[in-house]
A and B are shown apart, each in its own frame.
Chain A
Amino acid sequence: MQAVPEAAAPEAAPESAPESAPETDRVGIAGLKLGYQIAAACALALIAVAACVHVAMLFFHVAPSNTLTKQHGDVVDAWVYPEFEQNWKLFAPNPLQQNIAVQARAELRTAGGGVRTTDWYDLSAQDGAAIDGSLLPSHTRQNELRRAWDFYVGSHDAQNRPVGLRGQLSEQYIRRIAYMRLDRERPGGKGDTIARVQLRSRTTNVRPPKWSEEKVSPKPVYRLLAWWTVTPDDLPLAGAEGTAR
């Protein structure tokens, strides 16, 4: 006869059981009465199927486009989005081979009623300087501007026309970041306000390794966006978090 629970020796350690588990009879499902056994079997089947389906969906989500996903990709998407979305093409198939710097300048309305345009501020260089020598770089320095620009480029065509809602949102996002960062620079004097903001990107090829015979152009390529007028919605950004490092 198996031990009845009342005879339990309380000092037995819980974790000793799973590791040394040669004695397996009457444990788990086998130790249940028939009716409960059926219920447990149903749970087993349900959980096993759910786990298998989930794993299969994840697999097809990360796999390249293929026969199955071309026909039933919507099923995979419906399962995976929004909470199980993932992308593990880390530095793959090729790592980025260009330094992309986002720069911004402001048009100021001066206290005296005049208009003045500032020089370009290299916002990415500021990020780089903040990251230098840091053991714990902040996401605001490493991801914010970099990913916002990726988002913008990914949702615009070459003529800077937005594609869909994401295009519009990306535009708003990158401009608001630029406005916030420019405001921190205090580009004007007392009483000056930022009226408009302009952005550009400066893409430079990483020079090939010194043992390589490859030749890439050392000349940077610029992409210039249109001037954008600051709206009242953006004003709360000013002066906020002025000490970000």
Chain B
Amino acid sequence: MTRHELPLAQGLSKVTGFALGPYQTAVVRIGFAGTWLFFLLRELPHRHEMYGPDGPWDWGMARQLISGNGAFTALMWSDGRLWFEVVYALAILSSALLMLGWHTRAMSVLFMIGVLSLQNRSIFIGDGGDNVIHLMATYLVLTRCAQVWSLDARRAARARGQALADSAAGAERAGSAESAGRVERADSARKAGRVDPVGPVLWSVLGIALSVVTFMGELSRGWLLIFWGLWLVHGLWWAVGRRAPHSELRKLLDVVANLAHNAGLLVIMVEACLIYATAGWYKIQGSRWQDGTAVYYPLNLDYFSPWHTLSELLSSNGLILLLVTYGTVAVQVAFPFTLFNRRVKNVLLAAMIFEHAVIAVVLGLPFFSLAMITADAVFLPTSFLRRLGGGVARARGALVSRVWRRRAATADRRQDEEPAEHARVGFTP
């Protein structure tokens, strides 16, 4: 067959057969959900002032603005204080659960609803960081971002282990391991469906909630289509995976899910490139970026200088400022083009992540920086991410085993390897 030789055919089977970048999408999921969760917890004491019905940007003002632009926010469904608290709590909960990868496909939708509801309610309280999270929250809905480093992956792995134990008698059939890798995902999803009743319950509850909202007439036609469409697709996926896990329909659904994932991943990557390209190309046109003093000015703005001595120190050396100013523009403009060269890309990536880490502290923009670092992380090499995941898993394993050992010392003799091994499952499914 000549199909092997054709790059087009190879590419086709790749984008239809696999949800690419499992580690990259997982790190994006964890990063954005974690950043938003961290932000919501940090602003918990200020939540009424920022998004509440009686804040300076009150409910009526928001309604006037939103009736003009049609932005989506659940907070406009009621001006009640209780409703606001419920939405804020759900936003926190869905962020936490998305970060952990618990029923990820449903949580990603709820996460998007939470992000859009709060941000669109008060658009003048946000900054670039909020903007990045807003965009990525919508793109994440399209991705299969829980293939690794998630509770879903751990549950699937356990179901697989269970299935293996069940069919221990037919162990000799397992010889065809490498050719079977591609179908086991369907298999595991089915098994997970059988083991776990939470999925259908969650789906039903969300269906009822959606019905209520539909009946209230709060959703525009476009959003109705999106939410009901997602709900039906999730239900169809589950039903087919359960009733006919090896059918052609199931395989077709898998192909479509892969396509949506890969398109979502592509858009996430393009979005990150657009951010850098826009930021860089507009800077080039500015006189301060040309004369090498641009970085001096933010360091001397009261709103962006939480550490005066540090800012003064940095802004006192003209040569260093020139280097940082030119370096920033060069890196931002060049980055999209370096994607064609793995090594140069990685060097620039490291530089940008470092710069954002510095910005987090020096300019007092921690959440913006976290969001940008997460966007950068989608370009990190798989080998690095695997090592990172391994390191985190080991650290956690060590921590868990230490806790267990302490407990064991008080209780009685107890082997500490077991819990450590247990805890690692989610990270190395």
Q: A27-B18, A209-B321 are in contact. Are A89 and B173 (CB under 8 A)?
A: no
**For residue A233, which residues in chain B have a CB less than 8 angstroms away from its CB?**
58
- Closest residue of A by beta carbon distance from B130: A139
Asked if A227 is an interface residue, CB under 8 A from chain B, the answer is: no
The answer to whether B16 touches A24 (Cβ under 8 A) is no
**For residue A89, which residues in chain B have a CB less than 8 angstroms away from its CB?**
278-279, 282
**For residue B12, which residues in chain A have a CB less than 8 angstroms away from its CB?**
28-30, 44
The answer to whether A58 touches B274 (Cβ under 8 A) is yes
- Closest residue of A by beta carbon distance from B248: A36
The answer to whether B127 touches A143 (Cβ under 8 A) is yes
CB of B4, distance to nearest CB on chain A (Å): 7
**For residue A176, which residues in chain B have a CB less than 8 angstroms away from its CB?**
56-58
Please tell me which one of the listed residues A2, A40, A136 contacts residue B179 in the complex, with CB atoms under 8 A apart.
A2
Asked if A133 is an interface residue, CB under 8 A from chain B, the answer is: yes
CB of B79, distance to nearest CB on chain A (Å): 12
Asked if A95 is an interface residue, CB under 8 A from chain B, the answer is: yes
**For residue A23, which residues in chain B have a CB less than 8 angstroms away from its CB?**
178
Asked if A82 is an interface residue, CB under 8 A from chain B, the answer is: yes
Asked if B232 is an interface residue, CB under 8 A from chain A, the answer is: no
Stretch at the interface among A67-75, A104-112, A121-129, A192-200: A121-129
Asked if B271 is an interface residue, CB under 8 A from chain A, the answer is: yes
Bitwise interface map of B from 115 to 127 toward A, beta carbon under 8 Å scored 1, else 0:
0100010001111
Q: How many A-B residue pairs have CB under 8 A?
A: 335
**For residue B409, which residues in chain A have a CB less than 8 angstroms away from its CB?**
none
Asked if A226 is an interface residue, CB under 8 A from chain B, the answer is: no
The answer to whether B301 touches A99 (Cβ under 8 A) is yes
Best-surrounded residue of A8, A133, A169, A211 (most CB of chain B within 10 A):
A8
Asked if B342 is an interface residue, CB under 8 A from chain A, the answer is: no
Asked if B344 is an interface residue, CB under 8 A from chain A, the answer is: no
**For residue A207, which residues in chain B have a CB less than 8 angstroms away from its CB?**
300
- How many residues of B are counted as interface, with CB atoms below 8 angstroms from the partner's CB atoms? 125
The answer to whether B283 touches A91 (Cβ under 8 A) is yes
Asked if B72 is an interface residue, CB under 8 A from chain A, the answer is: yes
Complex Cα–Cα for A132 and B366 (A): 14
The answer to whether A17 touches B181 (Cβ under 8 A) is yes
The answer to whether B321 touches A91 (Cβ under 8 A) is no
Q: A138-B43, A147-B125 are in contact. Are A206 and B301 (CB under 8 A)?
A: yes
Complex Cα–Cα for A147 and B70 (A): 22
Stretch at the interface among B88-96, B102-110, B131-139: B131-139
Complex Cα–Cα for A35 and B153 (A): 32
The answer to whether A133 touches B307 (Cβ under 8 A) is yes
**For residue B120, which residues in chain A have a CB less than 8 angstroms away from its CB?**
82
Bitwise interface map of B from 309 to 334 toward A, beta carbon under 8 Å scored 1, else 0:
00000011010010000000000000
Q: A10-B160, A125-B302 are in contact. Are A44 and B45 (CB under 8 A)?
A: no
- Closest residue of B by beta carbon distance from A208: B293
The answer to whether A28 touches B135 (Cβ under 8 A) is no
CB of A110, distance to nearest CB on chain B (Å): 26
- Closest residue of A by beta carbon distance from B383: A19
Bitwise interface map of B from 149 to 165 toward A, beta carbon under 8 Å scored 1, else 0:
00001001000110110
Asked if B183 is an interface residue, CB under 8 A from chain A, the answer is: yes
Best-surrounded residue of B69, B288, B294, B306 (most CB of chain A within 10 A):
B306
The answer to whether A58 touches B18 (Cβ under 8 A) is no
The answer to whether B16 touches A11 (Cβ under 8 A) is no
**For residue B160, which residues in chain A have a CB less than 8 angstroms away from its CB?**
10-11
Q: Which residues in window 192-236 of A have CB below 8 A to B?
A: 206-212, 233, 236
The answer to whether B54 touches A88 (Cβ under 8 A) is no
Complex Cα–Cα for A103 and B67 (A): 32
**For residue A95, which residues in chain B have a CB less than 8 angstroms away from its CB?**
286, 288, 294-295, 297-298
**For residue B187, which residues in chain A have a CB less than 8 angstroms away from its CB?**
5, 8, 10
Complex Cα–Cα for A233 and B60 (A): 10
CB of B134, distance to nearest CB on chain A (Å): 7
**For residue A5, which residues in chain B have a CB less than 8 angstroms away from its CB?**
183, 186-187, 245-246
Asked if A66 is an interface residue, CB under 8 A from chain B, the answer is: no
The answer to whether B302 touches A101 (Cβ under 8 A) is yes
Bitwise interface map of A from 4 to 15 toward B, beta carbon under 8 Å scored 1, else 0:
111111111111
Q: A25-B3, A97-B297 are in contact. Are A32 and B248 (CB under 8 A)?
A: yes
Q: A15-B147, A55-B267, A128-B303 are in contact. Are A169 and B43 (CB under 8 A)?
A: no
**For residue B298, which residues in chain A have a CB less than 8 angstroms away from its CB?**
91, 95-96
Residues of A bordering B, CB below 8 Å: 2-19, 21, 23-25, 27-33, 35-36, 39-40, 43-44, 47-48, 50-51, 54-55, 58-59, 62, 81-97, 99, 101, 124-125, 127-128, 131-140, 142-144, 146-148, 151, 165-166, 169, 172-173, 176-177, 180, 206-212, 233, 236-237, 240-241, 243-245
4 A-B pairs closest in CB distance: A28-B17, A28-B16, A93-B286, A27-B17
21 A-B pairs (CB sep. < 8 Å): A5-B186, A6-B246, A17-B182, A27-B16, A28-B255, A29-B12, A39-B252, A40-B16, A51-B263, A58-B271, A84-B135, A88-B128, A92-B285, A93-B289, A95-B286, A96-B297, A135-B366, A137-B365, A144-B56, A147-B125, A209-B315
Residues of B bordering A, CB below 8 Å: 1, 3-4, 9-10, 12-23, 42-43, 45-46, 48-50, 54-58, 61, 64-65, 68-72, 116, 120, 124-128, 131, 134-135, 138, 147-148, 153, 156, 160-161, 163-164, 167, 173-188, 245-246, 248-249, 251-252, 255-256, 258-260, 263, 266-267, 270-271, 274-275, 277-279, 282-283, 285-289, 293-298, 300-303, 305-308, 315-316, 318, 321, 361, 364-366, 382, 429
